[in-house]
Amino acid sequence: MIRFALGRGISLCLSLIVASLVIFAVIEVIPGDPAAFMLGVNARPDTVAALRAELGLDQSLPARYLDWVGGMLRGDFGTSYTYRTPIAGMIADRVWISLPLALYALILSTLVAFPAGIYAASRRGRAGDIGVMGATQLGVAIPNFWFAMILVLIFAIELRWVSAGGFPGWEAGFWRGIGALTLPAIALALPQAAILARVMRSSLLDILGEDFMRTARAKGLSRRRALWRHGVRNAMIPVLTILGLQFAFLLAGGIVIEQVFFLPGLGRLIFQSISSRDLVVVESVVMLLVMVVIVINFAVDLAYAAIDPRLRRRG
Amino acid sequence: MTVPRTLVVGAVISTLFLLLASLSFVWTPYDIETLDVPNKLRPPDGTHLLGTDHFGRDIASMIMLGARTSIAVALVAVGIGMGLGVPLGLLAAARRGTLLDEVVMRGNDLIFAFPSLVIAILITAVLGASAVNAIIAIGIFNIPVFARLSRGAALGLWSRDFVLAARVAGKSSFRISWEHILPNIGNLMIVQGTIQFSLGILAEAALSYIGLGAQPPVASWGRMLADAQTLTALAPHVALVPGLAIVLLVLGLNLLGDGLRDVLDPRLRTVRL
């Protein structure tokens, strides 16, 4: 296990290094001078020169890369050019919307998908199964941002149950915050729940064909007890991996949903920075998101190996 | 052999959209470049089958043109993924266990680890928003899907007798990959291609919705939805129609993929990512 963890740890570090190189390179690819890009076409040459010096663009590429990465390791994400404030602070304000949103969506998705998947597997080939599978077909085909618009149309505009967007802030009370995140979380959770239900179903169907399930029935367990005690527990392993991946996906996918609901999360920060050409912010926030996703995948790998020792050998 | 119903339904829907997109090259009900503001936000009726948008443009015409954009972007992105991914996968399988294999597989893992949407946003933000950059952003993430799948399938074939016979006959591993392995994994690639196609449609819609896909005057479903967002209360059809078009096409392609899989080889299982 330790060897496995070490190996995974090394590949985690490599992934992070390559990821940071790629993001750095993409920002460098910008045709022309990033400082000129950020200031627009009408900037005076001396303003551009001043910004170049401020961003450290007069230094060599490797020096700038090391400066950026070193800063992030110390928790210094650089300074926003537009707002003149440290980016770390801007991220800290917004992460408390993006993170709860992803978590909320994950919980909703699990609550819907687990029962649906288990139900479908236990009714294989019958009307219940076909109904659930048909619903998941529809679920994966619906773009989440469009579903979000439909939810707003129904619940905010027609029924007036909730507000159409915005965020009151957590200081307005926990439940008001949750209320503002509910429609976004539902929109985000739907396609994920469809995928998760399919994985749950097929994983459980694989298990139901195993010999030990027959043994469980033969020793006198009822269908239901055998399903829960031996089936569902064993089927959970692949499902857990998907859950980890889904959390990463929900965090990234929240970017678009935040746009629909005008939530001031990381997604809006990225888009505002793109439109104001604040590349330092774009670079750092993207790196942060990629980092979170890579670390989550790493954690899932470890958890997976801890549950199932057979997987450690695969490396 | 009976043809599965999913295949028929999926093929009909997909073909319908393909025909509409092709037709838009020569004919659309209205010209969407001329604005007709007095007739804006008209609900569907006899003259405008799907109503008009906030500039009075005919939505049915825009859906046809948008289908063209969606299908073109997703199709080319799948082409990139297959064109680069399959040769990489075949190469890795032919040289399994070597450094080359390792490099290809680790490279795949790396791309998989990236949140695709975030990177697509980064690429389009830097290179500028356009349909071509959307294709690049979506295509890159198709490469590892095909590389991984073709490597896995090819590895299984390398231990088969007919490959052994080809080796005994003195064929090089490149020729074996080309003449014996590739034809045998073709079906699998077609099925996966259909699924990546439908994912590409969704990705293109999301990118153009946030303003990072095709730019005006090129029509796209995602931007139609973005434009419609503030108008949902006044004219729900403006938001409903493009969304339904996306759902229908994606659903059709998914059914087509499932149906093809059942017909081509029931044992094949595709990865859905």
Q: What is the ipTM of this complex?
A: 0.86
Contact between chains at B114 and A19 (C-beta distance less than 8 A): yes
CA distances to A302, B80, B94, B191 from B156, rounded to whole Å, are 28, 25, 11, 18
CA nearest neighbour of A230 among A247, A216, A242: A216
CB B63 within 8 A of CB B245: yes
* Span A58-109, pLDDT tens digits: 777 788 888 888 888 888 888 887 777 888 888 888 888 888 999 999 999 9
- Per the listing, tokens 């020569």 go with B26
Shortest distance, CA A222 to any CA of chain B (angstroms): 31
Q: Which residue of A has its CA nearest to B228?
A: A149
Taking phi over 0 as left and psi of -120 to 50 as alpha, with beta for the rest, B72 belongs to: alpha
Q: Which of B7, B103, B112, B121 to mutate to test the interface with A (most CBs of A within 10 A)?
A: B121
Long-range residue pairs from B47-50, CB within 8 A, at least 24 positions apart, any chain: B50/B237, B50/B241
Of all residues in chain A, the one with the smallest CA distance to B224 is: A146
The 8-class DSSP code of residue B58 comes to B
Q: Find the chain B residues whose C-beta atoms sit closer than 8 A to any C-beta of A.
A: 106, 109-110, 113-119, 121-123, 125-127, 198, 202, 205-206, 209-210, 225, 228-229, 232-233, 236, 239-240, 242-243, 246-248, 250-251, 254-255, 272
Which residue of chain B is at minimal alpha-carbon distance from A148?
B229
pLDDT per residue, tens digit, chain B (273 aa), is 567 788 899 999 999 999 999 988 888 887 777 777 777 777 877 777 777 777 778 888 889 999 999 999 999 999 999 999 999 999 999 988 888 888 888 888 778 777 777 878 887 777 777 888 889 888 988 999 999 899 988 988 888 888 889 888 988 888 899 988 999 888 889 989 999 999 999 999 998 998 888 888 888 999 999 888 888 777 788 888 899 999 999 999 999 998 888 888 655 444 443
Q: Tell me whether the omega of the peptide bond preceding residue A309 falls within 30 degrees of 0, making it cis.
A: no
Residues present in chain B in total: 273
Q: Is A159 helix (H, G, I), strand (E, B) or coil?
A: coil
> What is the spatial distance between Cα A150 and Cα A166, in angstroms, rounded to a whole number?
17
DSSP string, A220-269: T--HHHHIIIIIIHHHHHHHHHHHHHHHHHHHHHHHHHHHHHT--SHHHH
Task: Kindly report the pTM of this predicted structure.
Answer: 0.86
Count helices and strands in chain B by DSSP H and E runs:
10, 0
When pLDDT is cut at 50, 70 and 90, the band that residue A31 belongs to is: low
Contacts of A190 in chain B (CB under 8 A): none
Q: How many Cα atoms occupy the beta-carbon half-sphere of B2 within 13 Å?
A: 3
